[in-house]
Structure 1
Amino acid sequence: MRLKLLVAAFAISLVGTGARADEITHSFLACGQKTYIMGADGVPSWTYPANTRDGYVLDDGIIILTLSKSKLHSGGAVVSIAPDGKETLIWKGTQSEVNSAQPTADGSFVITEAGNNPRLLEVSVAGEVLVEFPLACQKENHHMQTRMARKLPDGTYLAPHLLNFAVFHYGRDGKVLGKLDTTVPGDPDRKIHTWPFTAIRHGDGHTLVCCTNGNRAVDFDANGKIVWTLTNDDLPGKWLQDPCGGQVLPNGNIVVTSYAGGRADRNAPKLFEVTREKQVVWKYADGQKAGIHHFQILTTNNEKLQGPALK
């Protein structure tokens, strides 16, 4: 696939166009049924002609994308795209899906594969396997095995397992070190499906988890206790519709994407930012049914975000 610069025909709109100078603006990478970089002015600057599941823009301008399965990559793939448009294959999936690829500080990539033998891998930029272990999730439903696996600063890993209703914490050897149960309190039979999709370690050992289908985001403290919850009852409308990806910003605010946000209401935001007090301070909509699977906020008020992206 070849990197494509944006053409004027790419029609998209930004909620808040014509915003006041004191309003928040963001630029961001969007991954999903459409893949693009949206400028703070509401004008996309770059597009990619494939469906993607995860993505990162690195400090040197390289873009890492996790590709959905396709005719070209039947098991999904991970690619690197240089600023000049040159594309390099990092990993070609060997099973049903590749669902995430996190660049680490060491230059490696943390990848998950779904299939008969779900596994986590850490590979070099050349595709050499550095770490590999099986994931302790259910095996019957490949698509619902896992999503955004992330390596933590201590060298361990977090992996959300959707139908296991928990975020698993793995050691480098694959040993399960602990779990964060995303079951709704008071619902032991799990009639409310709260499938964990994104798990973000932040602050003093906290973990923010976006629960798709359950339409909620929860923040666990270092002891595994839920200390903050965001639901549609906290918002101006039913904006949490399959909240897949999330990101914790340097100021502590949280951005969430609703993958199904445009299906019932085309004007519903695809992305929105809330404070810890649950005040909405920014939102984005594009008037399309196609959702944003995950994203990366790149700038705020034209200032590049510093430090690793907590997403």
Structure 2
Amino acid sequence: MHRQFTVLCLALLLAPFAELATAADAPARKFIAADSSKQTIAIISEDGTVAWERKIGPLHDLHVLANGNVLFQDSWTHVLEVNPKTDAVVWEYEAKTAPGNEGRRIEIHAFQRLENGNTMVVESGRARILELDLQNNVVTTIPLKVEHPSAHHDTRLVRKLDTGNYLACHESDGAVREYDPSGKVVWEYNVPLFGRDRANGHGVEAFGNQCFSAIRLKNGNTLISTGNGHGIIEVTPAGQDVWSIHQEDLPGIQLAWVTSLQVLPGGNVLIGNCHAGPKNPQLIEVDRQKRVVWTFKDFERFGNSLTNSQILTMDGKPVKKVLR
């Protein structure tokens, strides 16, 4: 009896350490994420501690730059670059007071720091891409094709490609369009409904084709998050679907409004799972065999509107080449 009691006590003492050992064996990720419902943007270290945090308003895009600064928005019209070490604002753009925008409804849902140091800002409501220099002088303007104009829905994420073209997700049109520098549409893909009817809402019960993110892969294909289509699809230049993940494909996980994407070193894909509720993780890393490699779920610091993220390190190694 004494021996059984001793063994039981040892088991109870060791149980927490076994759990910690299991957690230690899991992949570790440092990342930035933002949730406008909690008015929070934060960098989370690999050990789960907060490395930096700031209050925000509405947000649909963010970037940690090569210099370590954070490029993000704290309202639908205000984009800023902040040094997280000092919290100093080193650059900013306010769309509502920009020349020609006074009195107009303008929203920003995408922006990007370019290799030449300029900043691309996409203005919904005016349906245009701007490239701004450090003094906010407009050096390039690209008009966008929008069939269902809306200051809130003209675009979601837009990225300038290595070719000089622009890849834009048009949420209200349910389409991904590639533009050349003159504004000509050179490629277009209409996100399918896969034979289903549209359903209102934002959560797992909703359904549509309001795409959020598109990435041009090295093989020339395009990886697309389908928003309220609850999934991601990879399509060829000819529009053929060659790989996909749908709402119920990941064991124990339901996808809801699939938002930001990131292709990681080694080929894994980080998926933003927004509006999916506390039973589901907000971030999911999967491999190409659709196996879940890593997840993040925190409904205290973040909430049900975690739209955007970026992995910064993987098991202590910086993620230098960002494809997102």
Alignment TM class, shorter chain as reference: 0.7 to 0.9
TM-score by length of 1: 0.85
TM-score by length of 2: 0.82
Residue number among 195, 213, 218 corresponding to 1:198 in the alignment = 213
CA contact (8 A) 1:90 1:125 kept: no
1:80 equivalent in alignment to 2:81: yes
CA contact (8 A) 1:211 1:217 kept: yes
Q: How does 1:59-138 map to 2 (within 5 A)?
A: 59-69=66-76, 76-82=77-83, 83-94=85-96, 95-115=105-125, 117-138=126-147
Residue number among 287, 301, 307 corresponding to 1:293 in the alignment = 307
How far did 1:254 drift?
0.5
* Amino acid of the structure 2 residue aligned with 1:159: A
Unpaired segments of 5 or more residues in structure 2?
1-18, 97-104, 200-206
How far did 1:114 drift?
1.1
In terms of fraction of residues, the more helix-rich structure is: 2
2:10 is matched with which residue? none
1:275 equivalent in alignment to 2:287: yes
CA contact (8 A) 1:242 1:258 kept: yes
Please say which of residues 197-206 and 89-98 is displaced more in the overlay. 89-98
Q: Deviations over 1:86-133 (max 9, x none)?
A: 103431113421111111222122211111x22111112321212112
Residue number among 35, 41, 47 corresponding to 1:35 in the alignment = 41
1:53 equivalent in alignment to 2:54: no
Q: Deviations over 1:195-254 (max 9, x none)?
A: 111001122112111111111111112333211110122112343111111111121111
**Structure 1 residue matching 2:80: 3-state secondary structure:** strand
CA contact (8 A) 1:17 1:42 kept: no
* Amino acid of the structure 1 residue aligned with 2:323: L
How far did 1:292 drift?
1.3
d(CA) in 2 for partners of 1:102 and 1:270? 23
Q: Deviations over 1:36-86 (max 9, x none)?
A: 0011111111111113321111121111112323xxxxxx11101123221
d(CA) in 2 for partners of 1:239 and 1:127? 42
1:73 is matched with which residue? none
1:259 is matched with which residue? 274
2:179 is matched with which residue? 170
d(CA) in 1 for partners of 2:242 and 2:60? 29
How far did 1:193 drift?
1.2
Identical residues among aligned pairs (%): 30
CA contact (8 A) 1:120 1:135 kept: yes
How far did 1:22 drift?
3.5
d(CA) in 2 for partners of 1:310 and 1:267? 29
CA contact (8 A) 1:215 1:242 kept: yes
How far did 1:17 drift?
7.2
Structure number with larger C-alpha Rg: 2
1:23 is matched with which residue? 26
Count matched residues. 284
Q: Deviations over 1:273-302 (max 9, x none)?
A: 011110001000002434211111000001
d(CA) in 2 for partners of 1:47 and 1:25? 20
CA contact (8 A) 2:248 2:254 kept: no
RMSD: 2.0
Structure 1 residues 125 and 267: CA distance shift in structure 2, 3 A: farther
